[in-house]
Amino acid sequence: MIEPNERAALAARQMLLARAMRIGWLGVSIDVARMRLALRQFNPEQPRVPAGQSGGGQWTGEGDTVAPTPAADSPAREVTTDASGATVETTRRPDGSIVATTHNPDGSAIRSEYAASRTAGYDERHVVMAADGASRSFETEGNVQTIRDGAGRVLSRTEWTPAGPEAQPVVQQAYLQPGVGAKTVELGLMLYGALAGRNVGGTQAVAAFNSREYSSSGNIADPQLSFVGRLTQQELDDLCERRGDVQAMTNEAAKYYRREHPDMSPQNFGTAVHAAVAREVGKSDPDFRAEFSLIKSEEAGYGQLGSIRIDVFERTKNDVVCVYDIKTGQSGLTSARIAEIAGNVASIYRTKRFTITEIRPE
């Protein structure tokens, strides 16, 4: 039998969910026992606002600015601004639920909600809205992620397994307009960039793709985003066994050049680190190799000769290619980069499934 207080709380949650759906934002729920998922967004080691000040005891971002919080009887709220100019508003409600909304300078936004119970049936849900009004929601329950369009129609459902991302059957939407897949990639990469910028607590952002067909030239055509989220390093290592090796190579190269060449420009430092990792990877193992990225090199070099940027590819025993995107700067993944990676994966390994994760010097 449901107690009156429980019934009232349930009714309130249902009302909030209905209101959120009317304004285009979809909610999320997270089980208390699975709070590790929620904590992936928030680093307990972050500094806090000093006691006695507005918002005292709340988290701040390192180097971020903090806006005043509302009255004491309102939900705990903080607003931070990062180096890119994005504003992140985080609200921690008395019932334990968490809402975080990122407003980007270009007019796009990401809303993430985490609830204190599983009444909504989700662990977490992120809604990404482009400046043009297009949106996608990324709902995760357990190891299964469902991607929906702005009208709530299911575009894909994927389970993350130790053997890699596995597509789950969904009803095909014959009425979907052309370009839906491209917009999903665009908005998914926006979410991936936000998650990758907050790799905390032993977690790692990852994006997975599955291409539907091969083109006549042998390259993958139309890569589709199937999963974007954060995994524990162990979950990722179960599939991508050489991740730790690539991280160690990157760390060692960065450590050397920081020590021996402290005055290097950021562009030259990046080139040196990428070249060192490429040499370390070598060419002896066909299932573990460094591949030159023309797009990443051009972005990093600003037209300078000699700019070199690579991706490291690892083909797993499950025929999924793990792509390690080595980063020393701030540039993010673009749709053009995904097309480049998909083409390289297809031409080298003749496979259509690949994952991407960032590797930054530690």
Per-residue pLDDT tens digits for 85-131: 889 999 988 877 788 999 999 999 999 988 767 676 778 899 999 99
Task: Inform me whether the pLDDT recorded for 69 exceeds 50.
Answer: no
pLDDT at 272: 95
In this structure, the strands spanning 98-103 and 109-114 are antiparallel
Residue 159, classified by CB atoms within 10 Å of its CB into exposed (0-12), middle (13-18) or buried (19+), is middle
Domain range list for the chain: 238-359
Phi, psi angles (nearest 5°) of residue 22: -65, -35
pLDDT at 215: 52
Higher-pLDDT residue of 242, 6: 242
pLDDT tens per residue across span 18-41: 333 333 333 333 332 233 333 334
pLDDT at 236: 95
- Say how many C-beta atoms besides its own lie within 10 A of residue 109's C-beta: 19
Model's pTM, two decimal places?
A: 0.75
**Highest-confidence segment of 64-73, 113-122, 245-254, 287-296:** 245-254
Centroid of chain to Cα 68: 29
Yes or no: say if 261 and 273 are a contact pair by the CB < 8 Å rule. Answer: no
Higher-pLDDT residue of 329, 138: 138
In this structure, the strands spanning 76-81 and 353-359 are unpaired
How confident is the model over 260-279, as a mean pLDDT?
Answer: 94
Handedness of CA 299, 304, 305, 307 (dihedral sign): negative
Residues forming a β-bridge with 124: 140
